[in-house]
Amino acid sequence: MISFLKKHTIAYVFMLPAVVFLILLLLVPIINVFIKSFYESNLLIVGDDLFIGLQNFINVMQDPLFWTNVKNSIVYTFGSVGGEYVVGLGTAILLNQNIKGRAFFRGAMIIPWVVPIVVAGMTWRWMLNPDYGIINVLLMNIGILDQSINWLGSETTAMFSVIWVNVWRSFPFYTISFLAVLQTINKNELEAAEIDGANMFQKFWNITFPKLKGISIILIVLHLIWTFNNFDFIWILTEGGPLNATETLAIATYKEAFMKYHYGTASAISVLMVVILIGMMALYFWLQNKQEAKGDN
Amino acid sequence: MKKYLLLLLIIFISVGCSSNDSSSSESNGSSDNGDGTTLEVWWNVDQGEDRSGYYDAIEKYQELNQEVNINVQVLPYEQLKQKLTTSSANGNPPDIAQGLAEWMADLNSMGTLHHLTDFVNEWDEKDSVPQAVWDSVTMNEEIVAFPSYIGTRARMYHEDIINEADVALPETWEDLLTVGKELKEAGIENPFGISATSARAPQELAVYMWSNNLEIAEEISDGAYQNTWQEDESQLERATEVFQFYKDMLEQGIISQNQTSWGYQELDQNFAQGRVAITQNGPWIQGYEEEQPEGMEDVRVDGVPPYNETPATFLEVAQWYVFEDSDQKEAALEFLKWMGSKEGQSIYAKGNRTIRNDMDSEGEWNVAFTEIAEHGRSWPAVPMGGIIDAMTESIQKVLLGDTTPEETAIWLSDQINQSLEENNLLSE
């Protein structure tokens, strides 16, 4: 043990600043949120917080709006991740072909990812504007629409529009990741399959797609977490409206904490978000393992 | 070698983590070193040309008070409010901040504001500021903020559109519905303009409520409030009328369907472009004259927004806050005193939106807004976060949802009382 410590002391000392910052900036706030969720904590009432056990959780779950928020969060998360996956994979396959101007397209494709979220959000808000937004003008000019649609202001189209914008923003991350893996695939393998009579779809399904499995798991898990917790795009585009049609749990947490100053309730919603995310991850890995076991048999 | 590396690392960490007098005082927001006083001021005033007076005033104050240095931090309103809340809660606020009227009760309830009653009573120019303005910064008989500038909302219209359609300007809701219909028939897409989202929506709704003799929250006893619409049939009827007015405007085409998602940006932009004939708006719209000279050419301002029973308008009193945790309160108060003086106001407010009643308003716009100040009303002295959110949702409920005006009025009344209860302010 002593020789182990002697051998690794310098490594631990070098790691120490990072560990300290990690504890201070991540662990302490997270623990604080968990503790606060058991207290009645209202910034507008001067005095000590009152321990109320699970009451915050009961209040939150008894509010019908919470379940609307859960539904919206799930629709937004799965809609976004699904859309990003399909668009990202499609563009990666296209950009992996020998096409003219490939370098240019690869560079241009990254633009949505590098544009700051606030700028992208404001720009899309104007583009989707029903009075003079370019999207409505284009759709009407080419005859798809008879009259403009209030994309962000209607309960039926708001969620779709927010997902659309989020897909536009995030798909380049998928494209780059998929492209990196696609470039490692041995061309001989594909040629051999072609000689054996495999068509394009069979080559993709049996050779290319299995090789994307590892990166897919990473991308899906990461984006499920990021999208479920995403706040900025929705806030900039709709602020959770109209009539709570795009109000996710992240938006509800913000409203409770920074508009109503109910830190206890906001913390309870945050803890429930963590629980839901853990549940989603567990389900994903369980399905994954089940499929692998099936494949092995 | 390892020992040296370790030693070097320890030195780096010690130096890196140690505090430095000058930097720590800067990050703390204020300092009172031997060379003078540095006041940390947070506000949302950017250095745009139309707002140059704010910076000129600070420069002048520093010139007059060589020992004072004013350090300004500019933040958008939403971020400013968040930063003020978190920094105040952690005992590290700036010395002074400029904020919106709806923040006052929140910050005061947190116990972070330095009360200014004694300071204002001792100020020999106190009477140069109208009592209505002092009332708007008073909570539980304590002055908790210092007025920074005032702004009202007036009826605003495109004269050419009104003349071409040959209609009279609407004074009341009934007039507006009649005139709106005529304008619609004359081919005007948006006879009237509203905000149904953003911070402007609840402000407009409040004006309609006040103009129909309704209170958002009534002080029942000392420091205890209640929304009383459901206690009194006639009040509920009047609240229902307000929401019916919104519904009628939509159903009769006085406001377009697109307006159900308009915030202040959309309203201002559409009005400045001449796509909205009449609206209620503030003096900032004058800033569009450069951007949209053609659209703004025929814009006229006069009178209060269309009302039902009593003429009313929104009196926006932007406020200066001095924080209890600031260790330079004296210097901060001296600065505010000068900003409120005739000299300070003449540079800062440049003759418009001034808090003083002994200065002449300049230009047609400022005269129009000053004339209606007597009808100005402001938010009740209760935390508004939850109430404002519910007010915005109530507009959407009646315009987009299938809720009736009466159901919406009852729902909003419940939400207001729930917010009061959550903040221990609901009258038993």
The reply to whether B76 falls in a domain is yes
Contact between B104 and B319 (Cβ < 8 Å): yes
User: What is the residue-averaged pLDDT of chain A?
Assistant: 91
pTM (predicted TM-score): 0.84
Beta carbons of A242 and B260 less than 8 Å apart: yes
Place of tokens 């938006």: A251
Q: How far is A111 from chain B (nearest CA, A)?
A: 26
pLDDT tens track for A238-288: 999 899 999 999 999 999 998 889 999 999 999 999 999 999 889 888 888
Do residue B237 and residue B254 come from a single domain? yes
- Identify from A131, A236, A251, A255 which residue to disrupt to test chain B contact, counting B C-beta atoms within 10 A and taking the largest count: A131
The reply to whether A291 falls in a domain is yes
Number of other residues whose CB lies within 10 A of the CB of residue A12: 10
pLDDT tens track for A48-72: 889 999 999 999 999 999 999 999 9
Do residue B294 and residue B236 come from a single domain? yes
The reply to whether A10 falls in a domain is no
The reply to whether A26 falls in a domain is no
Number of other residues whose CB lies within 10 A of the CB of residue A206: 11
Report the CATH number that the domain containing residue A53 is assigned in CATH: 1.10.3720.10
How many folded domains does chain B comprise? 2
Which residue in B has a C-alpha nearest to residue A153's C-alpha? B261
- Residue B234's contacts (CB-CB under 8 Å, 6 or more residues apart) are none
Do residue B199 and residue B346 come from a single domain? no
* Residue in B10, B258, B388 nearest the CB of A153: B258
pLDDT at position B244 is: 98
B8 inside 8 A of chain A by CB: no
pLDDT at position B387 is: 94
Query: In chain B, which residues have their Cβ closer than 8 Å to the Cβ of A153?
Result: 258, 260-261
Which residue in B has a C-alpha nearest to residue A147's C-alpha? B258
pLDDT at position B78 is: 81
Do residue B118 and residue B247 come from a single domain? no
Q: How far is A130 from chain B (nearest CA, A)?
A: 6
The reply to whether A32 falls in a domain is no
Do residue B256 and residue B269 come from a single domain? yes
* Residue in A239, A242, A261 nearest the CB of B385: A261
Do residue B145 and residue B156 come from a single domain? no
A152 inside 8 A of chain B by CB: yes
Q: How far is B221 from chain A (nearest CA, A)?
A: 19
Q: How far is A232 from chain B (nearest CA, A)?
A: 13
* Residue in B13, B383, B386 nearest the CB of A17: B13
pLDDT at position A175 is: 95
Helix/strand/coil for B192:
strand
Q: How many residues does chain B have?
A: 428
Residue B200 to residue B102: CA distance in whole angstroms: 12
Residue B257 to residue B326: CA distance in whole angstroms: 49
Query: Residue A237 is part of which domain span?
Result: 42-296
Helix/strand/coil for A211:
helix
* Residue in B106, B388, B397 nearest the CB of A261: B106
Query: In chain B, which residues have their Cβ closer than 8 Å to the Cβ of A243?
Result: 393, 396-397, 400-401
Q: Say if residue B178 is exposed, middle or buried (CB neighbours under 10 Å; 0-12, 13-18, 19+).
A: middle
B90 inside 8 A of chain A by CB: no
pLDDT at position B20 is: 43
DSSP state of A154: S
Number of other residues whose CB lies within 10 A of the CB of residue A233: 23
Beta carbons of A152 and B275 less than 8 Å apart: no
Beta carbons of A155 and B197 less than 8 Å apart: no
Helix/strand/coil for B92:
coil
pLDDT at position B5 is: 55
Do residue B354 and residue B402 come from a single domain? no
pLDDT at position B27 is: 38
- Residue B302's contacts (CB-CB under 8 Å, 6 or more residues apart) are B154, B155, B169, B368
Contact between B284 and B208 (Cβ < 8 Å): no
The reply to whether B296 falls in a domain is yes
The reply to whether B15 falls in a domain is no
Do residue B144 and residue B178 come from a single domain? no
The ipTM (two decimal places) reads 0.81
A260 inside 8 A of chain B by CB: yes
- Residue A295's contacts (CB-CB under 8 Å, 6 or more residues apart) are none
Report the CATH number that the domain containing residue B67 is assigned in CATH: 3.40.190.10
Query: In chain B, which residues have their Cβ closer than 8 Å to the Cβ of A242?
Result: 197, 260-261, 396, 400
The reply to whether B12 falls in a domain is no
How many folded domains does chain A comprise? 1
pLDDT at position B3 is: 60
User: What is the identity of the amino acid at B5?
Assistant: L
A119 inside 8 A of chain B by CB: no
The reply to whether A33 falls in a domain is no
pLDDT at residue A171 tops 80: yes
Give Dmax (Cα) for chain B.
93
A148 inside 8 A of chain B by CB: yes
Place of tokens 């006052």: B104
Query: In chain B, which residues have their Cβ closer than 8 Å to the Cβ of A244?
Result: 393
Do residue B272 and residue B321 come from a single domain? no
A60 inside 8 A of chain B by CB: no
Contact between B153 and B282 (Cβ < 8 Å): yes
B386 inside 8 A of chain A by CB: yes
**How do the pLDDT tens digits run along chain B, 428 residues long?**
556 655 555 555 554 444 444 433 333 444 444 468 899 999 988 766 566 788 888 999 999 999 999 999 999 888 898 899 889 888 899 999 999 888 999 899 888 999 999 999 999 999 999 888 898 899 888 999 999 888 889 999 999 999 999 999 999 999 999 999 999 999 999 999 999 988 899 999 999 999 999 999 999 988 899 999 999 999 999 999 999 999 999 999 999 999 998 988 889 999 999 999 999 998 888 888 888 899 999 999 989 999 999 999 998 888 999 999 998 999 999 999 999 998 888 887 765 678 888 887 667 777 788 788 889 888 998 999 889 999 999 999 999 988 999 999 999 999 999 999 998 899 97
pLDDT tens track for A17-53: 999 999 999 999 999 999 999 999 988 888 888 999 9
Query: Residue B332 is part of which domain span?
Result: 35-151+316-376
Beta strands in B263-391 (DSSP E): 276-281, 299-301, 313-322, 376-377
The reply to whether A50 falls in a domain is yes
Do residue B65 and residue B124 come from a single domain? yes
B81 inside 8 A of chain A by CB: yes
Encoded tokens for B325: 């945790």
Beta carbons of A243 and B393 less than 8 Å apart: yes
pLDDT at position A8 is: 85
DSSP state of A262: B
* Residue in B9, B10, B258 nearest the CB of A150: B258
pLDDT at position B289 is: 85
Closest CA to A158 of A38, A243, A264: A243
B87 inside 8 A of chain A by CB: no
A137 inside 8 A of chain B by CB: no
* Residue in A42, A43, A243 nearest the CB of B400: A243
Do residue B252 and residue B140 come from a single domain? no
Do residue B240 and residue B344 come from a single domain? no
Residue A125 to residue A128: CA distance in whole angstroms: 5
